[in-house]
Amino acid sequence: MDKKQLRSSLLLLLGAVIWGSAFVAQSVGMDYIGPFTFNAVRSLIGTVSLLPLILILDRRKKKSGSSPAKRKEYIKACLVCGLVLFGATMCQQIGLQYTTVGKAGFITAMYIVLVPVLGVFLGRRPALRIWFCVLLACVGLYFLCINEGFSIEKGDLMMLGSAVLFAFQILAIAHFAPKVDSLKLSAGQFFVSGVVSLIIMFIIETPKIPQILAAWLPLLYAGVLSSGVAYTLQIIGEKDADPAIASLAMSMESVFSVLAGWVILGQVLSPREWIGCGLMFSAILISHTHA
């Protein structure tokens, strides 16, 4: 692994630490406000938190004579990444109302296996071990999510949908990141996600300022760190990393989510759920082990 790839992996791993612990903030935040309100506010906070840095770097680029990214390509990147991000984060946010932080982290991590599988549609042929990993992850999901009555909980199903959408988001970022400014893409996708959430928020929910202010700490963590910082680390890290390797580093969020749920919220997984986590994490590791 060269220096660029090592740097990318470390940036993505740091993002995974932030994301894993952010599941706690997302869960606690909904003690005060609804999922669309939470997502709208956190996304817009994430956008605003990046603006000062964007302005500073823009001034430096102008002095150095750097050419700006093509506007049409940037708008397209923000719309595509932002809409997919909106779907992924909303599934995750709604699902957190019905499942634990640890389970949410591991089910979301299914995107790690899905990224190379979805790559088939982009002309990338996954190795045979990927299909084995998909099967192994499905068995893990069974132990983690399916109860004795052979039914899957609503929250777990929402998390699975989130995993699929996050897989598309990773592929979208991998496509657009080399073409546009990383920070601007990060801010742009949050803005799109925030605006869409804001519109639906006023239709479905009845947000109140006192309730939003009561959730200030979870919102700031999710907005500034999870959105503004971690997603920017993802975009910067993916510039010099293969999507599969990038998703492996980011998969560690599942481990950190379990630890955060246990330490902060006192949530404990059952032995059956631990078996499911173990199988899913094995699938994640094997899927990105070079043959």
Q: What is the pLDDT of residues 40-94, one digit of tens each?
A: 999 999 999 888 888 887 777 665 454 555 788 889 999 999 999 999 999 999 9
Q: Which amino acid is at 48?
A: V
Q: What is the pLDDT of residues 155-202, one digit of tens each?
A: 888 998 999 998 898 888 888 878 888 788 889 999 999 999 999 999
pLDDT at 286 exceeding the cut of 70: yes
**What does residue 37 show for φ and ψ, rounded to 5 degrees?**
-65, -45
Task: List b or e across 94-122, with b for residues whose CB sees 16 or more CB atoms inside 10 angstroms.
Answer: bbbeebbbbbbbbbbbbbbbbbbbbbeee
DSSP codes, 114-150: HHHHHGGGGT----HHHHHHHHHHHHHHHHHHB-TTS
Torsion on CA atoms 161, 166, 171, 172, rounded to nearest 10 = 100
The pLDDT value recorded for residue 291 is 43
Residue 227, Cβ neighbours under 10 Å: how many? 30
Higher pLDDT, 73 or 127: 73
Q: What is the pTM of this model?
A: 0.80
φ/ψ (deg, to 5) at 267 = -85, 130
* pLDDT, mean over the chain: 82
Higher pLDDT, 291 or 180: 180
* Distance between CA atoms of residues 229 and 163, nearest Å: 21
> Encoding tokens for residue 261?
């749920």
Q: 283 with 106: CB under 8 angstroms? A: no
Provide the residue ranges of all domains of the chain, joining segments of one domain with +: 3-287
Calculate the CA 209 to chain-centre distance: 27
Q: How far is CA 54 from the centre of its chain?
A: 22
